[in-house]
Each structure stands twice: as C-alpha cells, then as structure tokens.
Amino acid sequence: MSVYLDHNATAKVRPEAIAAITHVLAHVGNPSSIHAAGRAARAVMEQARSDVAALIAAPASTVIFTSGGTEANALAIESAVAAGAKRLVVSAIEHDSVQETSRALGVPVETLPVDANGVADLDWLGERLARWDAADGKPFVALMLANNETGVIQPVAEAAELVRAADGWLHVDAIQAAGKVPVDSRGLGADTLSVSAHKIGGPQGVGALTFGPRATMVRRQHGGGQERGRRGGTENLPGISGFGAAAKVAVAGLAAQGALRDAAAARLQAAGAVVVGEASPRLPNTLCVATPGWTSDLQVMGLDLAGVMVSAGSACSSGKVKASPVLAAMGLGDLAACAIRVSGGWDTTEQDWNRFADAWLEAHARHAARRKEVA
C-alpha cells in the first residue's frame, strides 16, 4: 500500500468536503439569482464564507473567494500597487506566486533576508523601514506565516508592528499555516491574508483573501459584480462549499503530527541527515530534511519506488526538481540541492511516518553502498 506524505502540495480531500460538494452538484442554483434556487445557493455560499472566515478569525464580510491561493496573493499585491505602493519588500522565502507577481508589476522589489534557521530578519526590516523614502509610497511587505518547504513559522505579529509604525501594508500568505496552526488574521496585524482550500482538505481551484480596514482592494476580474464587486464571474459554488466544510474541521488532530514527525526525523538524523529549521517553531506536519551527497531527485525517486510519496520542495514549479531557493536563502549551500519535504495530513498515521523512515533508511543504505563502490 502506498503512503502519501505530500499534503503541503495538496491534501487529500476530506469526507466532509466531498459530501458538501456532492450536495451542491445535485442541486441547481446560481448565487446571483433571486429566485428560490438562487437564494438557496447564496445561503450555501455565505455559510461557507463564514466557515472560512472563522478559520482565520476574520469578519466574513472581508473574505473574497478566488480561484486559489495564487490568485489571492496576486489580488493583494496588485491592490497594494494600485493603492500607491511603488517599492515592494518581499521575504526571501515567499512562494513563487508572491515572488513572481511582485516582479511582474514594474516596480522595484527588495528581498527581506532570513537567518540560518529560516526566520525573517526583523532587524533588517526595521532598519529598512526607518529609512523609507516617501517617494516610494507606503511600504509594502510580504511575509508568509509558515514556509511551505521547511514549515518554519515566521514572526508575523512582530513584523506587523514595524510595518504599522511605518504606515505600511503587510500581506501574509497563510496558505500553509491555515488548518495546521491557529491563524488570527487580525491578531497577527495582517492587512491582507491569503488561504487555499486544497491545502486543508478542500478541493483544488478555490482560495480566499481577507482584507483589513487599512487595505484598499481593487477589482482584478471584471464582470457581474460578484464578491461585492471585487471579483466578477459566477462563483465556484461546489468548490466554495467544499472549502467551507474543510475549514470547519481543519485544525482537529494535526497537532499530534509533531511527535510522529520528530520520531521519524530522529531516525534519519542518526543516519547523517540534517533537519532544516529544527531550531525554529515549525508546522507540526512538516519535515524538511537534507542529506549531504544525496540529491533531492534521487531521494524522491527512491522513495517513490518504495511506495512513499514526498516532494523536493514546492509543488508549484512545473514538476521540476531543482535546488531550493528557500534553502539557499538560509545559507545551506550544496545542501539546498539535497533536501526533501515530507508533510503529513489529516489522515496520516504513525504507521505512515514509520513506513517513510523505513523506506528512507533502506534507500539511504543502498545509496551509501553505491557511493562506496564508486570510491
């Protein structure tokens, strides 16, 4: 039997989400229609909005549904630029959807560095904001809540204090954190915060953005005035309903993954592997481990042959296996090309983590033997 340990790429869809989606698909109704079927569809959508809002401690009226986390991030960044941001500060560990959108908008982008533990350098940020040029408009800073590759949790609330003092805009990508640790968008001080359904056991193709009172949102997609005029087009009601159902049960049980992960990690460390970000607070389900002299692609393929599915980092790179920019930013050098990411989910068991560790140790022993023969 295969073991799926790539929930950070996409989680298995929860039974609650499947039931919600199936129910919507069995009934007709456009949420914008005013007849009975339309009103029923609208009620389903607004209940899901409330459930997603509760997951991130945000007012439901500030939740905009999108096609996924990538669009949610883009909506936030493009809104900030439209509101007058002329220079962006983006952390070195941000997801490609934040990095690429920022660099596509024709404004200068600066990199907020991280330390060897993968934590954002707030001393650097404070110094940079202190000498911000008014000609660059209000500062915009993007700092994710938890990294998708290492699981390292960022000091977002502390960063928010610095950004607020400079009258800036803080965007928080909480896509990996939501459903794994408690997320309080307002308590964190986020001006905008993004989440995605398929990372928490909902369907692919739906996400959301919440915005605070200091953020001015633009209309990115024109059409019939849906999402309170901020995103035109008929809403993906099946996806939204599944998102809401997953949000209601997302956090339950995932905290227990931490002990299972650590037990597996200890076995790998005994064989010479390095646990990335171990000294920092991390998501309980995420293990990033690097092995000197054993490249990521060989590890992923060896584990896959043993029926264990993991990844070499972010799944949003068109299937390419390459050295991780996140790990490079942490100063890991050659180790950046020798890391894999193992991520459990709502249905991951102790047996799954043990099976992974067994398979990894067997593959590592074979690799070490081959290297010895070549030498």
> In whole angstroms, what is the distance from residue 112 CA to residue 27 CA?
48
Going by C-alpha positions, the residue among 4, 6, 192, 189 that lies closest to residue 85 is 192
Q: Long-range CB contacts (< 8 A, 24+ apart) of 227-235? A: 227/64, 227/65, 228/61, 228/64, 230/64, 230/75, 231/64, 231/65, 231/66, 231/75, 234/30, 234/31, 234/32, 235/31, 235/45, 235/65
What CA–CA distance (Å, rounded) separates 85 from 71?
19
Report how far residue 23's alpha carbon sits from residue 64's, in angstroms, rounded to the nearest whole number. 22
Q: Which residues pair with 142 in a beta bridge?
A: 90, 171
Q: What are phi and psi of 133, to 5 degrees?
A: -90, 125
DSSP 2: -
Q: For residue 215, give both structure tokens.
A: 């953020």
Q: CB–CB of 25/143 below 8 Å?
A: no
**Alpha carbon 127 to its chain's center:** 27
**Active-site annotation holds for 288:** no
Catalytic residue among 40, 92, 316, 368: 316
Catalytic residue numbers, as ranges:
316
